[in-house]
Structure formats: structure tokens, C-alpha cells
């Protein structure tokens, strides 16, 4: 077997702890809940669990606003619960990757409390403080990802602080070496505790374009923040945290706005930065002027985008593969047909994604084909991004509430955050209490128990895909080639390694496929298909097949 890193054959499962399984009836998922589902995850066969943040937090952004990096939020359990989860996961051969959120802290973090207390506090420079401009306005006109300006005036000292996300999420100043060393020390403590790596939240944003903060030239948004010093920061982090532990852990950097050229630099093993990145291009193609402005997906553009990432990272670097996560709508609702062909389209996209080259990420509930939710009123939503956007659009920009709500239905992050649907009992078996956000009303029919009992189980299909990646080097490492790139409904490609050639053909349509396939399947061996009964006939609606040619 080729000497490729272990994570090239691995599949990662993302747990959003708040919405996964509640053990104590407070309506919020917790670590003991996750522990009770390790058997389920072991059956699925995943290699790694990525835990969204479980650190103490005021939960304005569901834990992406961290008050204390060294502990576990009581809502999720204790450090002892965490140690038990890690030990039991390891006993089952499953690794645990933590979320690392160090672009910003919570405004309730002790560092920020000190920093804001006076202009001469030793931690003043740990965050981005700037005096108002002459007219009292913010230092520049950057806007935050969660609506409104990226600067908030703090009364204590009369200066503004920078926050690229909510005002409760002040940005750390990575130019300050003390900040960097504090973060590295914290990371080492978690590794010493037994965790197997980090998913690094918006890690490319830690490097600011400082000349834009202080200069006349201004612009809005996150795009202006990836400063060139990012590579130095990540290389330094690698030296300080991971040196001597090579091969044991996994690092994935979440990087909004990252290009293929950047990604090659970030993930080239010789540069020792991160193992892989989460890019955003393929999940931005169906947005218009902003993220809530949902426009129809150009399927040919999606194929060509993913194919460009495959080619771009073929020689150096490595891809991560995802179609949804806790920030994105459910893949079956976005890319498939979540009504008539829910199971077929969920499994089609699973086959297509998992047969790309890279490390696949499964977001909780994806493995049973969970769908978006459409709550009737904004009252039912909890996500700070959706709520801020709704308020701004309706109150400031006078948009019709129904059209803003339509955007939230299509793109809101709560689509992914309704509780995991385990069974048909009340609240889908997620909690015995009142869930913090309502369960998707489709849970009586759509849940893990009914899925696994059905003859067309999405879970079972994912299980086969994961097993295939473990067994087959061509699936893990083979070269990718897109076929029929401009076909409007066919997703077809090959993966080749040595003498083995695998081919995927997938009919991304409610109609049967008409015409010729770009590969000769007459003598090919069918390895996996998403319809229960085989046929060498044309592809049926949302049918996907994997052949060995």
C-alpha cells in the first residue's frame, strides 16, 4: 500500500453537539449524548469525529464565541465527560478532532475583559483597538459577516474594537506574538489530552490586511482580510504545536475566499501548514448578490468548479470534500430532490462526492438524508446570522418579511441545526425535554431507525462508500478525470490508478437519462449503485452507479 497519510483514506463525521443527542433532558445535546451514539458511528464506519465547539461560551454563535479555551461548557458536560468520550472513541478506533476558534474569542473571555479595561492594560494589544475617526465614526467601513459594521465602540475607553463576525466575537490580534504563543500552548494542552487534531475556524482571517485597517483605502467584508503573513502564522503554528507529532493528527483550515492557488500553498506537505482546507467556491455558485439571495444552481459550473479543484490539488496538496455542514443548507434539499426522490438524490450525491479525490466530510443527519426545514415564522429560528439578517433587511432596508423569510428557508444555517432525527418518538428521540430549536416536522417518517430498517437505506449506502474508501486505493488516491463536462444533467468521471479504472455515472435529474454514456459499461463490473435492482438500461431518475472498467 502506498505511503500516503492516514487521512487520505479516512472519512470525517461532523457532530454539532447542540443538536446531536441530549442525555439529560435539558433540550440541548451533550457529550454523554454523543458517547451513547458511538456505536452508531462505529457501524457507519467513520474514522474521525469533528466536534463543533464544546468550550464554555455564552452561545451567541452556538459556541463559536469562546469564553474559556481550557474547559467544557457545563451545558455539554465536563472535562471528565470529554476524557471519557475520547477514550471510548479511541477504543473503537475513532479519532476526535476539536474545533479551534482563534480568529476571535467571546467578548466574555478573560483576555478581552482585560484588554477592554484600559488603553494601557498589558493585553490591550491582544485585540484590534482603534480610535474613532475625526467625525466619531469607525476606523474603516468593513462590515461584519453577521450584518452591520465590523467595529463596535466600547464606552470604557472610547475606542472601537474589530469583529469580523458578531459584536460578541472580538478579533484577536495575531500580529502580537504573545497571542500566538497563548494559542499554541492551548493547542498543545488539547493534544496532550488526547485529541487528534483541529478543524480551524476561519483560519485564513487571522492575518489582517493591516494597511487597510489604518489606511485611507477601504472596502467591505472578509475578502480584504487575508494578509500575506498567513503562511508565516500557519508555519509557526505547525512548528510550535505539531512538530514531532507528524502523522498522528489531522488539520483542516476553514478558509472563506480561498483560491486554488492559495490552497496549494496551504496544503503542500513540504510547506508544513495544514493538511487540507475547506474552500467555499462550490457552495457560492447558487448565491446572487449575497448569501441569502438564492439563485438556481448552474450544474455545469458546479462540475467544472469541483473538477478544477481536483486538478489544482492533484500533484501537491489535498482536497477536503463537503456539500453541507452546520453553516450550509442540507445537501439533498439544495442539490437533490428532497420530496419525490429524496433517497435517490441523497445517495447520488453521496456517491459522487465520496468518489472524488480528497477527504470526505459527512455532516450529522446527511447519512440518513435529512432535509431543510421551513419554519413559518422567524420566531422559530435561532441562528444569529439569520436573525440579524432578517432584522436588518426588514427594519433597515424595508424588504418584505415573506421574501426575507424565503431566503432564510433556502440558505439559513438552522436548516442544518434542527435536532438529529433518531426515531419516531416525540422530538425524534433527540431529547426528553423541550429542544432548543424545533425538530423538523418530517421526523416521524424520516429518522435513523426508519432509514436503517428500509430496503433503500441512505445510512447503509454511506457505510458502503466508507468501506470502499478504506479498501480501495483507487478510491482514495486515484487520478480524477471529468467526463462530458458540459452535459446538463450527467455527472460522469473516472478515477485511475495503475491498471484500475473506476467510472462514476450519475443522472442528476427527475427524468430518465437519454443518450449514450461517455464510458462503455457493457463489459464493466458494477461495484455500487443506488437503485436496489440493477439494470444496464439507461439511468433512472437520480440513479448513480460506480463501475470498474
DSSP string covering 142-211: -B-TTSSBSEEEETTTTEEEE-SS-TTSPBB-TTSHHHHHHHHHHHHHHHHHT--EEEETTGGGGS--HH
What minimum distance in Å lies between the beta carbon of 55 and ligand TEU? 12
**In what helix (H) or strand (E) does residue 544 lie, and over which residues does it extend?**
strand 544-548
Q: How far is CA 508 from CA 292, 405, 545, in A?
A: 24, 28, 12
Hey, is 250 helix, strand or coil? Answer: strand
Q: How far apart are CA 338 and CA 345, in angstroms?
A: 8
**In what helix (H) or strand (E) does residue 15 lie, and over which residues does it extend?**
strand 12-15
What minimum distance in Å lies between the beta carbon of 153 and ligand TEU? 21
DSSP string covering 355-399: TSSSEEEEETTGGGT------SSGGG---HHHHHHHHIIIIIS--
C-alpha cell at 152: 463596535
Q: Which residues of 101-114 are buried (b: 16+ CB within 10 A; e: fewer)?
A: bbbbbbbbbebbee
Hey, is 134 helix, strand or coil? Answer: coil
254 vs 273, beta carbon nearer ligand TEU: 254
Whether residue 37 contacts residue 21, with contact meaning beta carbons closer than 8 Å, is answered with yes
Number of H helices, E strands in the chain: 16, 16
Residues that bind ligand TEU (CB under 6 A): 61, 64, 101, 145, 165, 201-202, 254, 256, 291, 326-327, 385
47 vs 327, beta carbon nearer ligand TEU: 327
156 burial (CB, 10 Å; 0-12 / 13-18 / 19+) is: exposed
What minimum distance in Å lies between the beta carbon of 426 and ligand TEU? 28
Chain centre distance of CA 390: 23
What minimum distance in Å lies between the beta carbon of 469 and ligand TEU? 25
The strand ranges marked E within 46-177 are: 48-51, 95-100, 129-130, 151-154, 159-162
Nearest residue to the partner ligand TEU, using Cβ: 64
145 vs 420, beta carbon nearer ligand TEU: 145
Instruction: Report, as residue numbers or ranges, the catalytic residues.
Output: 201, 254
Task: List alpha helices for 200-245, DSSP H.
Answer: 210-214, 230-237
What minimum distance in Å lies between the beta carbon of 192 and ligand TEU? 25
Q: How far is CA 108 from CA 57, 116, 127, 323, in A?
A: 8, 11, 13, 33
64 vs 76, beta carbon nearer ligand TEU: 64
165 vs 322, beta carbon nearer ligand TEU: 165
129 vs 363, beta carbon nearer ligand TEU: 363
163 vs 495, beta carbon nearer ligand TEU: 163
Q: What angle do CA 353, 357, 359 make, to 5 degrees?
A: 75
18 vs 469, beta carbon nearer ligand TEU: 18
DSSP at 241: I
Whether residue 73 contacts residue 37, with contact meaning beta carbons closer than 8 Å, is answered with no
390 vs 422, beta carbon nearer ligand TEU: 390
What minimum distance in Å lies between the beta carbon of 372 and ligand TEU? 15
Q: Is 504 left (phi over 0), alpha (psi -120 to 50) or beta?
A: beta
DSSP string covering 469-514: HHH-HHHHHPEEEEESTT-SSEEEEEEEETTEEEEEEEE-SSSPP-
Q: How far apart are CA 260 and CA 60, in angstroms?
A: 33
Whether residue 508 contacts residue 472, with contact meaning beta carbons closer than 8 Å, is answered with no
What minimum distance in Å lies between the beta carbon of 256 and ligand TEU? 4
Say which residue the cell 487520505 belongs to: 8
What minimum distance in Å lies between the beta carbon of 385 and ligand TEU? 5
205 vs 237, beta carbon nearer ligand TEU: 205
What minimum distance in Å lies between the beta carbon of 522 and ligand TEU? 45
Amino acid at each position: 500500500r502506498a505511503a500516503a497519510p492516514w487521512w487520505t483514506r479516512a472519512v470525517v463525521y461532523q457532530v454539532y453537539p447542540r443538536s446531536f443527542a441530549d442525555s439529560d433532558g435539558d433540550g440541548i445535546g451533550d457529550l454523554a449524548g454523543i458517547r451513547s451514539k458511538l456505536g452508531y458511528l462505529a457501524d457507519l464506519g467513520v474514522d474521525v469525529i469533528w466536534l463543533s465547539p464544546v468550550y464554555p461560551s455564552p452561545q451567541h454563535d452556538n459556541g463559536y464565541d469562546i469564553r474559556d479555551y481550557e474547559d467544557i461548557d457545563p451545558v455539554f458536560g465536563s472535562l471528565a465527560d470529554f476524557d471519557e468520550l475520547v477514550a471510548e472513541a479511541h477504543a473503537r478506533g475513532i479519532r476526535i478532532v476539536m474545533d479551534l476558534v482563534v480568529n476571535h474569542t467571546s467578548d466574555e473571555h478573560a483576555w478581552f475583559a482585560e484588554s477592554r479595561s484600559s488603553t494601557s492594560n498589558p493585553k490591550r494589544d491582544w485585540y484590534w483597538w482603534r480610535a474613532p475617526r475625526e467625525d466619531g465614526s469607525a476606523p474603516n467601513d468593513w462590515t461584519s459577516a453577521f450584518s452591520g459594521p465590523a467595529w463596535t465602540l466600547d464606552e470604557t475607553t472610547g475606542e472601537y474594537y474589530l469583529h469580523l463576525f458578531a459584536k460578541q466575537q472580538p478579533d484577536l490580534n495575531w500580529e502580537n506574538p504573545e497571542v500566538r504563543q497563548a494559542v499554541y500552548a492551548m493547542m498543545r494542552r488539547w493534544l496532550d489530552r488526547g485529541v487528534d487534531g483541529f478543524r480551524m475556524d476561519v483560519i485564513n482571517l487571522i492575518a489582517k490586511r493591516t494597511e487597510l485597517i489604518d489606511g485611507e483605502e477601504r472596502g467591505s467584508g472578509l475578502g480584504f482580510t487575508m494578509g500575506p503573513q498567513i503562511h508565516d502564522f500557519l508555519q509557526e503554528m505547525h512548528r510550535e504545536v505539531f512538530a514531532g507529532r507528524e502523522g498522528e493528527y489531522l488539520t483542516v483550515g476553514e478558509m472563506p475566499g480561498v483560491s486554488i492557488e492559495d490552497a496549494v500553498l496551504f496544503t503542500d506537505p513540504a510547506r508544513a501548514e495544514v493538511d487540507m482546507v475547506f474552500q467555499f467556491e462550490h457552495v457560492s455558485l447558487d448565491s446572487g448578490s449575497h448569501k441569502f439571495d438564492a439563485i438556481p444552481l448552474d450544474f455545469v459550473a458546479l462540475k467544472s468548479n469541483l473538477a478544477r479543484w481536483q486538478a489544482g490539488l492533484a500533484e501537491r496538496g489535498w482536497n477536503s470534500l463537503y456539500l453541507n455542514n452546520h453553516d450550509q443548507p442540507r445537501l439533498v434539499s439544495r442539490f437533490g430532490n428532497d420530496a419525490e426522490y429524496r433517497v435517490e438524490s441523497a445517495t447520488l450525491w453521496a456517491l459522487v462526492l465520496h468518489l472524488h479525490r480528497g477527504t470526505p466530510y459527512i455532516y450529522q443527519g446527511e447519512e440518513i438524508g435529512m432535509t431543510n426545514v421551513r419554519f413559518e415564522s422567524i420566531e422559530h429560528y435561532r441562528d444569529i446570522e439569520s436573525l440579524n439578517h432578517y432584522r436588518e433587511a426588514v427594519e433597515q432596508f424595508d424588504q418584505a418579511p415573506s421574501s426575507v423569510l424565503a431566503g432564510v428557508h433556502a440558505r439559513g444555517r438552522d436548516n442544518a441545526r434542527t435536532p438529529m432525527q433518531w426515531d419516531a418518538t416525540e422530538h425524534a428521540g433527540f431529547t426528553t425535554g423541550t429542544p432548543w430549536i424545533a425538530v423538523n416536522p418530517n421526523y416521524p417518517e424520516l429518522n435513523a431507525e426508519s432509514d436503517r430498517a428500509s430496503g433503500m437505506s441512505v445510512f447503509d449506502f454511506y457505510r458502503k462508500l466508507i468501506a470502499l474508501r478504506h479498501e480501495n486505493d483507487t478510491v482514495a488516491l486515484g487520478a480524477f478525470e471529468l467526463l462530458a463536462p458540459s452535459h446538463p444533467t450527467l455527472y460522469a468521471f473516472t478515477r485511475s490508478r495503475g491498471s484500475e479504472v473506476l467510472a462514476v455515472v450519475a443522472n442528476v435529474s427527475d427524468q430518465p437519462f437519454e443518450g449514450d454514456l461517455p464510458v462503455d459499461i457493457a463489459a464493466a463490473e458494477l461495484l455500487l449503485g443506488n437503485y436496489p435492482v440493477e439494470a444496464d438500461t439507461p439511468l433512472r431518475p437520480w440513479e448513480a452507479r460506480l463501475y470498474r472498467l
